[in-house]
Structure formats: structure tokens, C-alpha cells
Amino acid sequence: MLEYVENIVCTIDRDPKVRTREAALDRLRTLGVDDFGELLLSMPNDRYPKLSSLLPRMASDEVQQNWTGGSSLSLLRLTCNFVRSMAYNFTRLTKRDLVGATILDYGCCYGRILRMMSYFTSEKQLYGVDPWDRSLEECRKCGLTKNIFLSEYLPVDLPVGNIQFDLIYAFSVFTHTSERATLAALNALRKYVTSNGLLVITIRPVEYWKDLEGMADELRIDLIRRHRSEGFAFLPHNRPPIDGDITYGETSLALDWILQNSGGWRIAGIDRSLDDRLQIYVFLQPA
């Protein structure tokens, strides 16, 4: 952390008026996105005892690595790239900014991106759902305790009441779901976005199968063929089925598949980060 950033953070930490998480976050939004993220990554931090007591703790390096395949600053860079792209494209496509927006993290995992979205809006406006109870346990263990709910692997509705969201995002969710689970999620999420809202998902291109290690050539060729001919290729993991469907594995899908199968959505834009070249950001709006 650079010296001028440390000076800002130390001033906030020592300010007697900063007594709550929301007050701390409000002051910390004067930082840039990366510096905000680096501070959250460091929590708890002995240099900032008050902020450490107010802000959520970061998941351990072991949890980060095992659950997302990366950790620490290298993972934070990918997170910040995605968050910046979402913020820019939200404004470009909706003509609004994210300040004060109601936001849902679909497949929130341990809250990696959910933490970062507190840069834009208050904690009470942030929601996270995940079908794995251990994800929610980890969120709560780290102090992310508000608006965190257990969802279904094959959702029809979401456990968020009648809330309509300005922004819903699903990072590295549709890169792992079966065709049935993907369609179920897209249909369910359509119910919860405002008429001028945005859904951001990430998908894998066909090149993903060329890079995936430990696969027989025959299977690799078949998955590439399926992607190109059907627009959707799925390699299930060895997991128990949900209602007869193995919902989780490795997935690639084509933009045309989205257009042909998700009648409630239209593709409003695409983006990606060169730091994570096989994760395509797709921006969807209500059709």
C-alpha cells in the first residue's frame, strides 16, 4: 500500500466519528478501487485496529486458493478488473452509476466480489446467494452476515423476497453449470432484475477445452465439436445428481446459444480481461 493511501486509511481509523461499518465504508470510498480492494484483502490488519473490528475479514489463502484457484493480490487483480468492467458497462448501458444501486451476487462463494461491491453501495443494498451451505458459512465466519441466503442448484425462485435488483452478476457460475441448471438460473434471475437493470455473467469460449489439462484427446475433440455444433459443451464432475441432473462441472457456451435459449434476455455487450483471457464477461438486459 502506498504511503499516501496509508495516511488516508490511518486518518479514518483514528477518527472517533467512525463507529460503524457503514461509516467506515463511506469514508473509504474516497480511495480508488484497487486501494479499496487491497485494504479489504488485508483485513484484519494490525495497523488499523478499528477498521479491523468493523470490516469483514478476508478468507484465508487456503480457502481462496481451493475455491477459486488463486489468492492474494493476483486474485484481487482479476476481481478489480471484473468490478471495473461491470461499473463502466453498467453506466454505459443503463445511463446510471452504481452508487446506491441494489446488487445481487448470484453464486457468491466466500464473498470475494461481494466485498468489493461495497465500494459502490451500502451493505443493506447488497445481497448474495449460493446453493452451497459452506459458502454461506464462510461468509458469516468472515463477518458478511447481512442478506446472505441459500439458493437452489436448479432455481425457480430466489430467497430474496420481492426485491428487484439494478445489477445482478454471476462470476464463474455459468462456466460450471449444466445446460438444465444454466437455463433454470437464467429464467429465475429474469424475475429479479429491474426493467433497466443489468445481468452480468461470465462464460468460457471454445478455446477453454484446448487449455484444460488432464483430458483424453478423444474427449477434448468431442467437447469442442459439441460447443461448435450445439453451442453448449458440459463435462460433469463426479457429484451426486440433483433431481436427476449433475448440475456442476466444466462448461463452455457460445453467445449464439444465449440468444437462442434465453428468451427473456438480450446481449447488450461483451468484455474480457487479458489477465483472465478465457473468461468472457457477457452483459444481458431484459429483452
Strand order from edge to edge, sheet including 193-203? 148-150, 126-130, 103-106, 165-170, 193-203, 280-286, 265-272
Contact yes or no for 165/102 (Cβ under 8 A):
yes
- The sign of the torsion formed by the CA atoms of 265, 270, 276, 277 equals positive
pTM: predicted TM-score of the whole model, two decimal places: 0.96
CA distances from 102 to 99, 122, 142, 167 (A): 9, 9, 22, 7
Is the domain spanning 69-286 CATH 3.40.50.150? The answer is yes
Domain definitions of the chain by residue range: 3-54, 69-286
- Residues 157-187: tens digit of each pLDDT: 999 999 999 999 999 999 999 999 999 999 9
For residue 263, the model assigns a pLDDT of 79
- Residues 118-161: tens digit of each pLDDT: 999 999 999 999 999 999 999 999 999 899 999 999 999 999 99
